[in-house]
Structure 1
Amino acid sequence: MGAQLTLTADSRENGVTLLAASGEIDLSNVDAFESALTDATRSGTAIVDLRGVEYLDSGGIHALFTHADRIRIRTSPLLMPVLTVSGLAELVDVEQ
């Protein structure tokens, strides 16, 4: 069993929500991740901080694509190849 997913959302004064994820995003918890993304982008743009994510499967990538027009991503070098190969890095501002 991998690292449990932890999601934390924080609204900023400028109206941007910071959604921080840590652990693994996979089939067992992608619904919770999708729901958190929906909540975070409800009022506008969200920054999705994936620097604490150790594993991101295709369901997690799909959830990010679904919200690509309303998110910016912070990531670690570990996930950058996945975001690049999937094409997500071309659609979304990604910061390492």
Structure 2
Amino acid sequence: MITATVRVERHDNVPVVYVQGEIDIVNASQVGGQLFDAAPNDAPGVVVDLSTVTYLDSRGLHLLFELAERLRIRDQRLQIVVPPRALIRRVLLLTHLDSVVSLSASVQEAVQQMMPAR
């Protein structure tokens, strides 16, 4: 069984959550707890890097929709990083997650989009 590892860093006051491995029914609650805890109230939102996620089931998708809604209620945004040709990106597009969150090709791009206009 492959599990997910989660690591959080801050880039210019933006929490970036790096997820690696698989997000499924077995570990979605644990991963979700770490994602929800990564967004302090003073941040503009959260960047979740799924570049190295190899599998995402329906529970993992639900987790991302739920995170987006929680952040929206707090006037925060969710940016998801996933490479343009990644299978995970196709899943996110097929489920229309891109209608509620922004998809970015890189962490740098996602953090820049999260920053207020100057």
Q: Which position in structure 2 is the counterpart of 1:85?
A: 94
The question of 1:41 aligning with 2:39 is answered yes
User: Are the equivalent residues in 2 in contact too, given 1:41–1:71 (CA < 8 A)?
Assistant: no
Q: How many residues align?
A: 94
- Aligned equivalents of 1:83, 1:33: Cα separation in 2: 18
- Aligned equivalents of 1:95, 1:82: Cα separation in 2: 15
- Aligned equivalents of 1:42, 1:49: Cα separation in 2: 17
The one-letter amino acid paired with 2:37 is D
Alignment of 1:6-21 (within 5 A): 6-12=5-11, 14-21=12-19
Q: Which position in structure 1 is the counterpart of 2:62?
A: 62
Identity of aligned residues (%): 33
| TM-score normalised by the chain length of structure 2 | 0.74
Q: Structure 1: 5+ residue runs without aligned partners?
A: none
| TM-score normalised by the chain length of structure 1 | 0.89
Runs of at least 4 residues of structure 1 off by over 6 A? none
- Aligned equivalents of 2:53, 2:80: Cα separation in 1: 12
> Cα RMSD (Å) of the superposition?
1.3
CA deviation string 1:2-53 (max 9, x = no partner): x2211001122x3210000000000110011110111112333110000000
- Aligned equivalents of 1:87, 1:17: Cα separation in 2: 24
- When Rg is computed on C-alpha atoms for both structures, the one with the higher figure is 2
User: Are the equivalent residues in 2 in contact too, given 1:48–1:74 (CA < 8 A)?
Assistant: yes
The one-letter amino acid paired with 2:36 is T
- Aligned equivalents of 2:39, 2:79: Cα separation in 1: 11
- Aligned equivalents of 2:82, 2:38: Cα separation in 1: 17
SS at match of 1:41: coil
